[in-house]
Amino acid sequence: MDHLSSSQINLYSQCSLKYKFQYVDLLPKPFKASGLVFGSAVHAALSWFHTERLAGRNPTLDKLHKVFEADWYGQTIESHVRYKEWETPAGLIMLGRSILGLYYREPHDGVQGTEIPFTVPLEDPVTGERLGINLEGFIDLLEQPDTIVEFKTSLKAMDIKDVNVQLSAYSYAYEFLHQRLPRLFKVVNFIKSKRPRILVLETHQCDHRRFFNLAKKVFEGIRAQIFFPKHSFMCAGCEFAEPCQGWEGN
């Protein structure tokens, strides 16, 4: 194991057994949740849109919709998608188009980078202790001046606490790479309600030491092979419900 990502840290903290199934045993997923497909398609469309803006072009909303739909169809051909009982593929495509339309009408000045990959060593910002592994990830969008933007799709309005680990990881990596702290973090939350809307959450602070300590405990747990089920709201949509049922403590 040579790296951790914020989603791995989050997943291990939420259910270490699911982490094991996904990242240690590499079990195939019998289905892909519609929410994940939708979120990926929105991300793909936004990434394309910001790349166009960076190149000085003004893409049309129609093209943005086409990129979303192409990604949606690509994913749904490749995997078996599990929809919620009230969802239909056509309804989700309409929802994606509406959400992207809302975003398209917002101002988009100051785009500095999109889907920015990073790999930085995990080390205690106070003592310099090194874990011997890297933190890896992608920053969805960087805006001027020093503003990190994360896109999230959800059924209900999110709270900034829901993305604390992710933002802390980005802030930690940003400071390591640029020797300065980000000025602002923005979470652009696309809410998939009947009448879709965009909520922008902002924060100025992330606790790098707390983040390092969390990553350290997760890393220690993985190395010691501490994996156990933790029942929560996540179980309802878990792809590994079957192997979880058969878990015998190893």
Return d(Cα 24, Cα 174) in angstroms, integer. 28
Q: Closer CB to ligand SF4, residue 13 or residue 51?
A: 13
Q: Closer CB to ligand SF4, residue 156 or residue 231?
A: 231
Residue 164 CB coordination number (10 Å)? 19
Phi, psi of 19 (to 5 degrees): -55, -50
Residues 6+ apart with CB under 8 A from 244: 17, 18, 21, 229, 235, 238
Nearest-approach distance from CB 133 to ligand SF4, in angstroms: 24
Nearest-approach distance from CB 22 to ligand SF4, in angstroms: 9
The answer to whether the beta carbons of residues 20 and 227 sit under 8 Å apart is: yes
Q: Closer CB to ligand SF4, residue 111 or residue 244?
A: 244
Sign of CA dihedral 18, 189, 46, 89: positive
Q: Closer CB to ligand SF4, residue 15 or residue 173?
A: 15
Residue 187 pairs in a beta bridge with: 150, 201
Nearest-approach distance from CB 83 to ligand SF4, in angstroms: 19
Return d(Cα 161, Cα 24) in angstroms, integer. 28
Distances in Å between the Cα of 47 and the Cα atoms of 29, 100, 134, 194, 227 are 26, 12, 25, 25, 35
Nearest-approach distance from CB 220 to ligand SF4, in angstroms: 20
Q: Closer CB to ligand SF4, residue 22 or residue 47?
A: 22
Q: Closer CB to ligand SF4, residue 84 or residue 230?
A: 230
Query: Which residues in this chain contact ligand SF4 in the complex, by CB under 6 A?
Result: 15, 17-18, 229-231, 234-235, 238, 240-241, 244
Which of 61, 88, 99, 81 lies closest to 192 in space, CA to CA?
99
Nearest-approach distance from CB 19 to ligand SF4, in angstroms: 9
The dihedral formed by the CA atoms of 210, 117, 40 and 105, expressed in degrees to the nearest 10: 100
Nearest-approach distance from CB 153 to ligand SF4, in angstroms: 20
